[in-house]
Amino acid sequence: MKTFIVKRIRGFGYAFKGAVILLKTEASIQVQFCIAILVTVAGFYFNISSTEWLVQLLAIGLVMSVEGLNTAVEDIADFIHPDYHNKIGRIKDVAAGAVFISAVIAVIIAGIIYIPKIT
């Protein structure tokens, strides 16, 4: 039982380290983090409802986690096959496509929340 708890705590430490690596080294995550701060400020400014906060937080979490997984896929692809290959191109494009989908959804969510408040 003790080793179970120690392993879980260690796992949390590695995961936190991963999140710090993403924020320190990945430009796209840094941009998304800045946008997350901006919409959080907007949330306080426009005094959005609890439901709007929940959806906004989910959208932020969705985009940043998918971006993190996309970075992991890119790193794996570069590690196992550093040279040009059609398959690697497709793998990276598909992973980037997943980020695109989550980002489009996040923009739609932002529109639904804020457009009525600024018009």
Ligand X SMILES: Nc1ncnc2c1ncn2[C@@H]1O[C@H](COP(=O)(O)OP(=O)(O)OP(=O)(O)O)[C@@H](O)[C@H]1O
Residue numbers belonging to the annotated binding site: 14, 26, 67, 74, 92-93
Q: Is the dihedral of CA 12, 18, 22, 25 positive or negative?
A: positive
88 binds ligand X (CB under 6 A): yes
Member of 23, 40, 46, 92 binding ligand X (CB under 6 A)? 92
31 binds ligand X (CB under 6 A): no
Active site residue 52: no
Q: Tokens 């590695």 map to which residue?
A: 14
Return the C-alpha torsion angle 15, 21, 27, 32, nearest 10.
Answer: 30
- Indicate the annotated binding residues for substrate: 67
Q: How many residues of this chain interact with ligand X, rule: CB under 6 A? A: 8
